[in-house]
């Protein structure tokens, strides 16, 4: 098992390489659990691409490690780059989320010929086609940046392979302040500092303690090494570190680097000031002084570089002093206010395994120069030049946010700042796409938002508007594509021209944070200095003036940059390897798309909470949408909620309890299964007051998933009722399967309409089960909330295809008319608008907005992301969408884009906008739609006609009036209606349904309080809701009550009401 003597270079796998394959040897130490590793293979040069969760198994193992026979495609030699822009061949050794050696062959010409062998995992030497000698092979992964050891507390280091060491082995800790440690193979680690070891470690336990295992679940199974007291942890944190296992004979069996994140929390958690804040005035200076503070406990030196201007030369460089808790500080006179500055940090960086000097802006910057090049020494609360009207307190008091009392009554409209005005010809050209465009009255966007607010919309959610790094902020650095008009509907030219300048044009969604607390500069008229701050505040004030509160999209789960180089790496230059989540073996996790952050670390969590409070207090935003919130610890998110709840009108000018908090609670990657502790995923949010997006209602309503064939239909888009013909090749199953699927979808939609409350009980599900607890329905996971405000119901967002494009995919012109597709859009929107919970709408759903079928338009430019509030311009059929994200489906797209009948007409767009406003009015004017207390939903909401005998394509929701459950002796929830009956019909013909005779409260769990006294129903006749009596849609107006039947028009959401007795 253990390599204790030299082995001949030829003592390798002796089996011949399979035909059409290459043999890939990957270095993996003998102490590792080699059989747990597999090889992830991807790229067009591979004959078989392996899913991440089903990696290729090893063909065998030799002294070097496991080896794999990777099949090559027949045309591998001529393979071009894949349509996704990836490599010709990619190889990644991993065990679950524990990622090890990775190599990509960029071009087909780089891929080894079939029949050859390659060896990976030799560090800087790269792959080789010559069999190595064990004398030349490192004993561990130190040379490749591995860091499988974890210093968890001052006296213990965890390392998994220690438990596999032979009896009599010994263990060492090495340190080098100059980062010169070397893996000397069997000779062990070289170049340890003489004043820092090597220290002898002793085996303390073969398992983590219960406390450590709870804090670091992904490290369960690791052994613990005890660190001697003479090893000075505070000093060693500033050096390169390595640990090694030595055989009884003294030969090195394994060595690796050491991760320090947990130890830094133990030794250096800091609660003092950070960033640029007022300090003690200098001697004889009447002006308040400046205090600069940077937390950087692993740094060897830190200094401040001052500049007079955003681009000018340095004025001076001053050294900072380090406190016991790792905060480097510098105090100076009031003359420093208005200076630009950067920090110069000298520290060991694990990515390059060197001590490097890095220049970085302040991570707590409140202002900066263009492209986050330099921080600006300013203090927001007292900086009058960036306050609208000259005084922030006076301005906000005179221009408050619209009145709002209950988070559960919110309705949210997601909008990109640039989209709002980029194509609006009534906005002056020089401010299109800018913050200040929101101030202009009479523009198309202004009129549209005011119309939505008047109809009942409460909040606008703005896509990222913190400082992000994927749009050049200075106009001279940007280039826009010149796309000719009149291209064929399936032309490749528009996307080609858009892609050529995609990284230097003015458009990006912006999920690429650089500085968390500074507004994005590309939306400002001047990206240097304070303009971005003033104009962002003016934008918020302008939206408030339109009757809309403002939610901002925040991205704390990753950063755009990491490493010691590049202008977009900030946190990782301040404390290398700390702020980012790393795998057990030391790689930076990238499951979120790049550079995952580690908010389980004390100072990253502090940054998140501090940042939220800055945006709430200094910019008066009214809510936060957390991108990939499931990658943040639940404690971090609930601490944000608590911090906001503590804000008061008297103390802060803000009622923090009215600030919304919601996000994406997806569970995937390294956080899945609680491997990084309890995270803010959907199933863990009940009772927190924090909402999460409901993908169950999205998928059930429109059909499929974002990762499936986009043509797969759902409840509202023709499943069973008008399915694809067999010859179309859409895999939806036979009629029996479709019937089952559409009934299951209906149950899931019912549960979403009941706010996805896990304790809600459905009288009967489609399988005939009675008294079904929503949290257990259809295998569980469908319902998971404790209060309505904790669910965000939606069918479309900036991600994936627009709602119109989805219905275009699923409802082809050979089967559906344009009017039927439009009505399907309306029905999807109605499920969201009329549900209990918070409805969420994507800007343009009401305009039948298209992105020409683009499934991921984050970098597709203004051309494909056009949002035309006039309703005259659609992106549908203006060319194939960008190849890098959509190329695999181009052949399916072409005939659809070529069909002019699919393109929405101006008349249909106008009708859709009117329908959207109608739905908003229905919700806003009817307190029984959008109940905010779970007890009221339990006691007042039921679904007549559910069960195994239900009619496919029909959902009926009934809500009766009564006093609020929280105040059973108080007034009725609604002063107009005794009950409301909502009928959702996806059927394509007029349908007659029995009139629900009354209300039978659904069964209750023993732990759910009894409903409040029921309101008497049946005394007054049912009628069409007044808002629908006046509907601009003649089909909706045709709905009626005839005797004991409801007459429901096709593809409609109809609301009937019974008035309270006079």
Closest CA to 1049 of 996, 985, 958: 985
Helices (H), 565-669: 571-574, 602-618, 634-645, 649-652
Output phi, psi for 40, to 5 deg.
-85, 125
Question: Distance (Å, rounded) from C-alpha 499 to C-alpha 481?
Answer: 9
Estimate to the nearest angstrom the gap between the alpha carbon of 594 and the chain centroid.
11
Distances (CA, A) of 899 to 493, 563, 824, 895, 984: 19, 49, 19, 6, 30
Name the 3-class secondary structure at 676.
coil
51: tokens are 């899913």
Name the catalytic one among 424, 664, 805, 820: 664
Contacts from 948-952 at CB under 8 Å and sequence distance 24+?
948/764, 948/765, 948/766, 948/767, 948/768, 950/743, 950/746, 950/766, 951/987, 951/991, 951/993, 952/720, 952/721, 952/739, 952/742, 952/743, 952/746, 952/987
Give the number of other Cβ atoms within 10 Å of residue 783's Cβ. 27
**CA 334 from centre of chain:** 41
- Phi and psi at 701, nearest 5°, equal -75, -55
3-class DSSP state of 370: helix
Instruction: Give rounded-to-5 percent helix, strand, coil for the chain.
Output: 30, 25, 50
Residue 1047's DSSP bridge partners are: 992, 1040
Known catalytic residue at 664: yes
Question: For 470-601, where are the alpha helices, taking DSSP H only?
Answer: 493-500, 531-545, 571-574
Token output for 545: 């003036």
Please give the backbone phi and psi of residue 972, each rounded to the nearest 5 degrees, phi first.
-65, 150
Query: What residues are paired with 1056 via a beta bridge?
Result: 981, 1024
The continuous run of DSSP H or E covering 267 comes out as helix 261-268
890-892-896 Cα angle (round to 5)? 105
Residue with tokens 């029949």: 115
- The 10 Å CB-count burial string (b at 16+, else e) for 942-962 is bbbbbbeebebbbbbbbbbbb
**What is the CA angle 428-434-438, rounded to 5?**
75
C-alpha distance from residue 141 to each of 184, 207, 421, 748 (Å): 11, 23, 52, 49
Place of tokens 């929390």: 265
Interatomic CA distance for residues 135 and 141, integer angstroms: 15
User: CA nearest 448: which of 552, 546, 550?
Assistant: 546
Q: Could you tell me how far CA 635 lies from the centroid of its own chain? A: 18
Q: What are phi and psi of 716, to 5 degrees?
A: -95, -5
Please give the order of strands across the beta sheet that includes 60-61. Answer: 60-61, 66-71, 21-26, 117-120
Rounded to whole angstroms, the Cα distance separating 847 from 849 reads 5
Q: How far apart are the C-alpha atoms of 735 and 720, rounded to whole Å?
A: 6
Sign of CA dihedral 809, 810, 812, 818: negative
Sign of CA dihedral 597, 160, 635, 663: positive
Note whether 566 and 373 are within 8 A (CB).
no
Per the residue annotation, which of 446, 627, 845, 868 is the catalytic one?
627
Preceding amide of 1043 cis, omega within 30: no
Task: State the catalytic residues.
Answer: 627, 664
């Amino acid at each position: 098992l253990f390599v204790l003597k030299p082995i001949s270079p030829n003592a390798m796998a002796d089996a011949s390489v399979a035909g059409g394959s290459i043999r890939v040897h990957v270095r993996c130490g003998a102490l590792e659990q080699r059989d747990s590793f597999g090889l992830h293979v991807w790229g067009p040069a591979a004959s078989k691409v392996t899913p991440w969760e089903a990696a290729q198994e090893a063909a065998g193992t030799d002294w070097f490690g496991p080896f794999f026979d990777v099949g090559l495609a027949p045309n591998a030699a001529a393979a071009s780059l894949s349509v996704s822009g990836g490599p010709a061949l990619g190889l990644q050794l991993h065990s679950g989320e524990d990622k090890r050696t990775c190599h990509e062959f960029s071009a087909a010409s780089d891929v080894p010929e079939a029949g050859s062998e390659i060896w990976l995992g030799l560090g800087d030497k790269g792959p080789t086609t010559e069999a190595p000698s064990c004398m030349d092979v490192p004993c561990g992964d130190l040379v490749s940046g591995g860091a499988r050891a974890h210093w968890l507390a001052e006296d213990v280091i965890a390392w998994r392979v220690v438990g596999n060491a032979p009896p009599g082995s010994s263990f060492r800790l090495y340190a080098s302040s100059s980062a010169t440690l070397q893996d000397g193979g069997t000779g062990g680690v070289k170049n340890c500092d003489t004043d820092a070891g090597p220290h002898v470690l002793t085996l303390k336990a073969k398992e983590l303690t219960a406390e450590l295992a709870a804090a670091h679940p992904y490290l369960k199974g690791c052994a613990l090494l005890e660190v001697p007291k003479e090893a000075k942890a505070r000093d060693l944190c500033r050096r390169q570190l390595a640990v090694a296992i030595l055989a009884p004979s003294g030969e090195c069996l394994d060595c690796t680097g050491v991760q320090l994140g947990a130890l830094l929390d133990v030794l250096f958690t800091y609660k003092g000031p950070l960033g640029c804040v007022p300090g003690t005035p200098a001697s004889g200076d009447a002006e308040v002084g400046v205090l600069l503070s940077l937390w950087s406990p692993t740094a060897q030196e830190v200094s401040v570089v001052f500049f007079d201007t955003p681009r000018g030369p340095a004025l001076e460089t001053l050294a900072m002093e380090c406190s016991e808790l790792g905060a480097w500080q510098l105090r100076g006179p009031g003359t420093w206010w208005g200076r630009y500055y950067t920090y110069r940090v000298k520290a060991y960086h694990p990515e390059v395994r060197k001590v490097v000097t890095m220049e970085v802006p302040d991570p707590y910057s409140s202002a900066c120069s263009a492209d986050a090049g330099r921080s600006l020494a300013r203090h927001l609360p007292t900086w009058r030049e960036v306050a609208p009207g000259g005084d922030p307190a006076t301005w906000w008091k005179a221009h408050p946010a619209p009145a709002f009392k209950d988070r559960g009554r919110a309705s949210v409209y997601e909008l990109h700042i640039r989209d709002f005005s980029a194509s609006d010809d009534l906005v002056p050209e020089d401010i299109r796409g800018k913050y200040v465009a929101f101030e202009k009255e009479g523009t198309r966007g202004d009129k549209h938002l005011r119309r939505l607010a008047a109809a009942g919309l409460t909040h606008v959610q703005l896509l990222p508007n913190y400082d992000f790094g994927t749009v050049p902020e200075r106009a001279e650095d940007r280039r826009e594509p010149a796309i000719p008009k009149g291209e064929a509907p399936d032309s490749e030219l528009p996307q080609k021209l858009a892609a050529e300048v995609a990284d230097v044009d003015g458009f990006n969604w912006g999920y690429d944070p650089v500085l968390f607390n500074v507004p994005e500069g590309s939306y400002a008229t001047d990206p240097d200095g304070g303009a971005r701050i003033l104009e962002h505040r003016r934008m918020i004030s302008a939206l408030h003036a339109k009757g809309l509160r403002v939610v901002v999209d925040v991205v704390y789960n990753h950063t755009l940059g990491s490493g010691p180089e590049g202008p977009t790496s900030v946190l990782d230059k301040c404390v290398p390897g700390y702020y980012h989540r790393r795998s057990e073996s030391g790689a930076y996790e990238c499951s979120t798309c790049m550079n995952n952050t580690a908010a389980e670390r004390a100072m990253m969590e502090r940054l998140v909470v501090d940042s939220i409070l800055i945006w709430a207090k200094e910019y008066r935003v009214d809510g936060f949408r957390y991108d990939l919130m499931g990658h943040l610890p639940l404690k971090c998110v609930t601490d944000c909620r608590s911090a906001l709840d503590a804000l008061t009108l008297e103390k802060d000018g803000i009622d923090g309890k009215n600030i919304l908090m919601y996000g994406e609670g997806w569970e995937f990657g390294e956080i899945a299964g609680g491997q990084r502790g309890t995270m803010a995923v959907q199933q863990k949010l009940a009772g927190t007051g924090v909402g999460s997006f409901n993908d169950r209602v999205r998928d059930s309503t429109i059909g499929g998933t974002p990762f499936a064939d986009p043509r797969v239909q759902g409840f509202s888009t023709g499943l069973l009722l008008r399915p694809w013909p067999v010859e179309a090749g859409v895999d939806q199953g036979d009629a029996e399967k479709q019937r089952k699927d559409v009934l299951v979808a209906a149950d899931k939609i019912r549960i979403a309409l009941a706010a996805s409350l896990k304790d809600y009980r459905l009288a009967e599900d489609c399988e005939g089960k009675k008294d079904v607890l929503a949290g257990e329905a259809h295998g569980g996971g469908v319902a998971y909330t404790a209060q309505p405000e904790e669910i965000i119901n939606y069918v479309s967002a900036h991600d994936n295809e627009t709602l119109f494009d989805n219905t275009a995919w699923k409802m082809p012109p050979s089967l559906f008319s344009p009017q039927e597709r439009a009505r399907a859009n309306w029905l999807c929107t109605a499920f969201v608008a009329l549900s209990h919970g918070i409805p969420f709408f994507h800007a343009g759903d009401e305009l039948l907005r298209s992105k020409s079928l683009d499934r991921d338009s984050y970098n597709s430019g203004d051309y494909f992301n056009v949002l035309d509030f006039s309703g005259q311009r659609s992106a549908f059929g203006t060319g194939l969408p960008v190849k890098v994200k959509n190329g695999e489906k181009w052949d399916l797209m072409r005939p659809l884009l070529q069909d002019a009948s699919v393109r929405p007409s101006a008349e249909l767009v106008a009708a859709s906008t009117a329908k959207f406003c109608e739905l908003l009015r229905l919700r806003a004017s009817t307190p029984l739609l959008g109940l905010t207390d779970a007890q009221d939903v339990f006691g007042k909401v039921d679904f007549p006609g559910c069960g195994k005998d239900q009619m496919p394509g029909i959902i009926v929701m009934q809500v009766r009036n009564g006093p609020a459950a929280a105040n059973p002796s108080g007034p009725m929830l609604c002063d107009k209606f005794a009950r409301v009956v909502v009928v959702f019909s996806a059927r394509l013909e007029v349908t007659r349904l029995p009139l629900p005779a009354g209300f039978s409260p659904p069964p209750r769990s023993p732990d759910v309080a009894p409903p409040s006294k029921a309101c008497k129903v049946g005394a007054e006749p049912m009628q069409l809701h007044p808002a629908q009596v006046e509907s601009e849609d003649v089909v909706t107006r045709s709905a009626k009550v005839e005797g004991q039947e409801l007459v429901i028009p096709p593809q409609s959401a109809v609301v009937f009401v019974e008035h309270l007795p006079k």
